[in-house]
Homo-oligomer: A and B are copies of this chain.
């Protein structure tokens, strides 16, 4: 028998802090809250319907002087916060790339919050470091990554918050390589150049800015008709830059672009990087997960040329945000770029050299115990379970794409290799934008858009944990109905 919220005595006893009994009772209630939420998540409007300022205006101007009960706080979540939620966990959420969640991830992350450790150094919780190294080695095998990415070789994996941070860390290491260890000491000379396709994620350009290379030293390389980088253009640009006195440092190739899941040709790009001694970083933030299935591993062909690789289990691998995996082929290059050792962090284990201190593999010092949720997901689903689930999403997307193809009023705008369908209605960009806005305002489903060859394009990414054929079928019906309604309206 679970306790009910209103049966729980919320009195705080003598201590300021929550008693064990109150923690248990309120904890059960929060667990039930989440279970209830998932049972009815598809009944909410997917995109929050509030206007700017609505949420703030419902909150009191000043914090309470005296403590309030958790009951009251949870009631306010229901009343004041929930209207301002865009439901990423809805099976009708098709926007951006997903951030899907699962029971084993939520509960293992709860354990991590309860333990409340900071894994900045091996010694500050050896299990945090060693489980992370171990699970990332598991994942390297599961994805069939090159062996040098494993900690048992020259490399290793680390969990970052996002692919933005992963790509930034790789860029900093590349900066050091390109300047033969001088940029950390003397600063980033503004003649270093970085390369990515014009379809690469905005976080690459942001990393180039943050690391002090300068936006103007970021070269966006043209793409072919599949939106993949033209490697011959990369080569021409690198040679031109060398001629112009620049030092090419970093190439980011994308496995599954955000706009359309295009795949840059890793092998060709990798050979160019070898030739000119550039760091090759591979961003497979969403699509990387597909490599769990042998039949999709072609997406990462040529990965053996990469110096670093990132993909996000928090996107398509059921591991709650945040969890981005960064692998490096030579960990010493990363560590040498990011290590600082003040007296107050010195300890025997670090000085013995026998351990990893993950603070040296990332931007921040402190870190959560995030491998617990990743480990939990891998074990709960098993390799076969994860494959089954990925295949289901790809199958649903292929089904959706076939419906688009069969309808003369719509067209596919890019290849559909995995779980993202880019399509548009035959009409103006403005008309397609109207379709999108109408759909999102309906609350029935949530899509986002991109531009491909200057065409305003709708994107439907199928990656939510509980999305089924019924949801996808409903989405397609709504899309057609909305287009028809707007078409009729525009004719009258």
A102 on the interface (CB 8 Å rule)? yes
A115 on the interface (CB 8 Å rule)? yes
A379 in contact with B63 (CB, 8 Å): yes
Contacts of A62 in B (CB 8 A): 138, 141
Query: For the complex, what is the distance from the CA of A40 to the CA of B27, rounded to whole Å?
Result: 18
A212 in contact with B183 (CB, 8 Å): yes
A449 in contact with B126 (CB, 8 Å): no
Query: For the complex, what is the distance from the CA of A38 to the CA of B24, rounded to whole Å?
Result: 11
A431 on the interface (CB 8 Å rule)? no
Contacts of A23 in B (CB 8 A): 31, 34-35, 38, 103, 106-107
Query: For the complex, what is the distance from the CA of A81 to the CA of B382, rounded to whole Å?
Result: 20
Query: For the complex, what is the distance from the CA of A89 to the CA of B86, rounded to whole Å?
Result: 34
A354 on the interface (CB 8 Å rule)? yes
Which of A122, A142, A348 has the largest number of chain B CB atoms within 10 A? A122
Contacts of A186 in B (CB 8 A): 190, 214, 216-217
A484 on the interface (CB 8 Å rule)? no
Which chain B residue shows the least CB distance to A160? B364
Which chain B residue shows the least CB distance to A72? B379
Chain A at the B interface: mostly helix, strand, loop or mixed? helix
Nearest-Cβ distance from residue A469 to partner chain B, whole angstroms: 14
Which chain B residue shows the least CB distance to A68? B379
A239 on the interface (CB 8 Å rule)? no
Query: For the complex, what is the distance from the CA of A214 to the CA of B190, rounded to whole Å?
Result: 13
Query: For the complex, what is the distance from the CA of A31 to the CA of B18, rounded to whole Å?
Result: 13
Nearest-Cβ distance from residue A250 to partner chain B, whole angstroms: 13
The stretch that binds B, out of A127-135, A230-238, A267-275, A394-402, is A127-135
Nearest-Cβ distance from residue A61 to partner chain B, whole angstroms: 8
Which chain B residue shows the least CB distance to A138? B63
A67 on the interface (CB 8 Å rule)? yes
For window 202-232 of A, CB contacts with B under 8 Å fall at: 202-203, 205-206, 209-217
A66 on the interface (CB 8 Å rule)? yes
Which chain B residue shows the least CB distance to A116? B101
Nearest-Cβ distance from residue A311 to partner chain B, whole angstroms: 14
In the complex, 29 of the A-B residue pairs with CB atoms within 8 angstroms, ordered by the A residue number, are: A2-B3, A2-B28, A17-B102, A18-B102, A20-B38, A20-B39, A24-B35, A27-B107, A30-B107, A33-B111, A37-B115, A66-B383, A67-B384, A86-B123, A86-B126, A100-B116, A105-B113, A106-B116, A110-B113, A161-B366, A183-B214, A185-B214, A187-B188, A187-B217, A202-B345, A205-B340, A206-B365, A212-B212, A343-B449
| A117 in contact with B88 given A18-B102, A186-B216 (CB within 8 Å) | yes
A410 on the interface (CB 8 Å rule)? no
Contacts of A314 in B (CB 8 A): 366
Contact with B along A67-96 (1 / 0, CB 8 A): 111101110010011111111110000011
Contacts of A107 in B (CB 8 A): 23, 26-27, 30, 70
Nearest-Cβ distance from residue A53 to partner chain B, whole angstroms: 7
A340 in contact with B89 (CB, 8 Å): no
Contacts of A102 in B (CB 8 A): 17-18
Nearest-Cβ distance from residue A206 to partner chain B, whole angstroms: 5
B366 in contact with A321 (CB, 8 Å): yes
For window 433-492 of A, CB contacts with B under 8 Å fall at: 437, 448-451, 459, 465-466
B86 in contact with A354 (CB, 8 Å): no
B22 in contact with A103 (CB, 8 Å): yes
Query: For the complex, what is the distance from the CA of A56 to the CA of B156, rounded to whole Å?
Result: 14
The stretch that binds B, out of A44-52, A276-284, A298-306, A326-334, is A44-52
B131 in contact with A81 (CB, 8 Å): yes
Contacts of A340 in B (CB 8 A): 202-203, 205-206, 209
Contacts of A259 in B (CB 8 A): 343-344
Contacts of A258 in B (CB 8 A): 342, 344
A52 in contact with B115 (CB, 8 Å): no
A63: contacting residue among B83, B113, B201, B378, CB under 8 A: B378
B366 in contact with A162 (CB, 8 Å): yes
A110 in contact with B34 (CB, 8 Å): yes
A341 on the interface (CB 8 Å rule)? yes
